[in-house]
Structures are given as C-alpha cells and as structure tokens.
C-alpha cells in the first residue's frame, strides 16, 4: 500500500517537473488560443430613405421576421387585412378547427401612424380590441383572445431591423407582447440608420427628455421572440409573438 502511494507521488512530481521544464508540451501559449479580433464599431446603414427601408427589411428577415413595402398609402389597410386573414387561415388549417372571430389587440387608432385603419378593418369583420385596464378581468380576457397585435413604432433602425415602442396611454405594451403574432406599421420616415442617429435627432429637436418622461418604458424589439436551451436549440414565440410582420410605407406620399 505504502509502495503504491509512493509510486503515485513520484509520478505526479515527475509530471510537474516536465511541465515546468517544457510548458509547451501541456499548455498552449496565449497567442495560440486567443480569439480573433472582434470589430467593436457600431453597424452602420447608409443611403436615402428607401435604401434604409430596404436595409431594415433585410435585417428583419434575417432574424426570422417578415415584411412588405407598400407603395400606395391607401393600400396599407388591405395588406394588413390580408396578412391577418392569411395567418388565421393557416392556424385554422393546422388545428382543424372552425374559423374563429377575427380580432386584433391594438393601440388606440389615434396613436397609430395610420389612424383611419380601424374603419376598413371593422368593415372586413375584424374586431379591434383596445384594453382600458388590464387589471380588469374582462379586459384581460378580451385581450387574451386576440391572436394578432397591431402597433405603430416610435422608431426603427435599418442597421439591425430593430423597432422601438414607447408604451403610454393608448399604446398598450400588451399589443406587442401578448398576441401570438404582431403586425407593425412602420412609416419610412421613422427609420433611422442606427440607434445613435435616432438619439442624436431627438436631442437636437429637444424631444428626448419628453419621450423618456412620457413613456412607461422603451421596448427594443428585433424580430420574433426567441429563446434557446442549454443545447442552443432555438425556439420562437416563448416570451412574446412567434411571428412579426412589418408593413413599411411612406406616410408622406398619397
């Protein structure tokens, strides 16, 4: 017993001596294992408003979102209705159930970049749900029944496909969090190259302090909700919408 312990001790000491004498045999140098240099500059986006819109769209698509750029402002309500119906028909086909009443959980229409959109949706049989108080049980149930949320944006960033929402009165954050799907109305004028350029424009116009003071929070959303387990299996829709669709349009054109 004593002999085997002595042999083990001798073997361990011999290994340590070899490492001290020739460290390269066991340990690689820092130069060998260090990671490649990672660029630390902010991702940029350049070009005119249409170029920024196309860049935003491609970045959104890269993170599993979808989009469409609508040339005619008057076509926007029809495209939104078409998207809602398409999603609902896909869901009904998958679960084999009868068609459900069409509902959207939305902002107050007056807070949207296209205020008149509520009327054509109502004419298409789509109920518009604007919760007054989510602490109220009836309001919560109505909000939970809507499979699609419809919001505008405070801003959008072409470099990352990110949108910014600033929840406030009439702009419930539930519309972008609770439903299974989220349609975002994005005026092309609201698209900025980067977050830095957006903040700079707010500072120069004196609007930054008002935005922070008047908003319950600022939410930065990049595509559908995503989560990965320890094995890095990506799942969409765990903590928010599984599908995000942006409708881009020039609100300054008829």
**Nearest CA among 103, 108, 65 for reference residue 179:** 103
- Dihedral sign for Cα 72, 78, 79, 80, please: positive
pLDDT of residue 5: 72
Judge whether 170 and 125 are in contact, CB under 8 Å: no
Prediction pTM value: 0.78
**Mean pLDDT along residues 27-43:** 52
pLDDT of residue 16: 77
- Give the tens place of pLDDT for each residue, 94-149: 555 556 678 999 999 999 999 899 999 999 999 999 987 777 788 788 888 889 99
Residue 68 CA to residue 75 CA, distance in Å, equals 12
Residue 90 CA to residue 245 CA, distance in Å, equals 15
Is the per-residue pLDDT at 61 higher than 90?
yes
pLDDT of residue 159: 94
pLDDT of residue 30: 45
Is the per-residue pLDDT at 45 higher than 50?
yes
- Give the tens place of pLDDT for each residue, 65-83: 999 999 999 999 999 999 9
Mean pLDDT computed over every residue of the chain:
84
- Give the pLDDT band (50/70/90) at residue 33: very low
- Give the pLDDT band (50/70/90) at residue 43: confident
- Give the pLDDT band (50/70/90) at residue 183: very high
Beta-carbon contacts of 68 under 8 Å, excluding residues fewer than 6 positions away, are 79, 245, 246, 247, 248
Higher pLDDT, 135 or 154: 154
- Give the tens place of pLDDT for each residue, 226-246: 876 666 676 777 778 999 999
């Amino acid at each position: 017993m004593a002999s085997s312990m002595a042999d083990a001790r001798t073997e361990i000491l011999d290994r340590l001596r070899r490492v001290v004498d020739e460290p390269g045999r066991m340990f690689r140098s820092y130069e060998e294992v260090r990671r490649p240099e990672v660029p630390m500059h902010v991702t940029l986006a350049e070009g005119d408003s249409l170029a920024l819109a196309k860049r935003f769209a491609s970045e959104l698509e890269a993170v599993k979102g979808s989009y469409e750029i609508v040339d005619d402002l008057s076509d926007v309500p029809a495209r939104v209705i078409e998207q809602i119906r398409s999603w609902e028909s896909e869901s009904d086909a998958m679960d084999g159930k009868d068609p459900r009443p069409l509902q959207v959980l939305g902002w107050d229409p007056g807070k949207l970049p296209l205020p008149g959109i509520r009327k054509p949706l109502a004419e298409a049989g789509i109920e518009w749900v604007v919760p007054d108080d989510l602490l109220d049980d009836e309001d919560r149930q109505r909000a939970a029944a809507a499979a699609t949320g419809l919001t505008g944006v405070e801003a959008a960033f072409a470099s990352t496909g990110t949108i910014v929402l600033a929840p406030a009165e009439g702009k419930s954050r539930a519309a972008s969090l609770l439903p299974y799907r989220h349609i975002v109305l994005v005026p092309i004028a609201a698209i900025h190259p980067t977050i830095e350029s957006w903040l700079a424009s707010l500072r120069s116009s004196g609007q930054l302090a008002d935005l922070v003071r008047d908003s319950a929070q600022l939410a930065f959303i990049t595509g559908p909700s995503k989560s990965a387990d320890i094995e890095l299996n990506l799942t969409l829709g765990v903590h928010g919408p599984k599908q995000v669709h942006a409708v881009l349009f020039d609100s300054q054109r008829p």
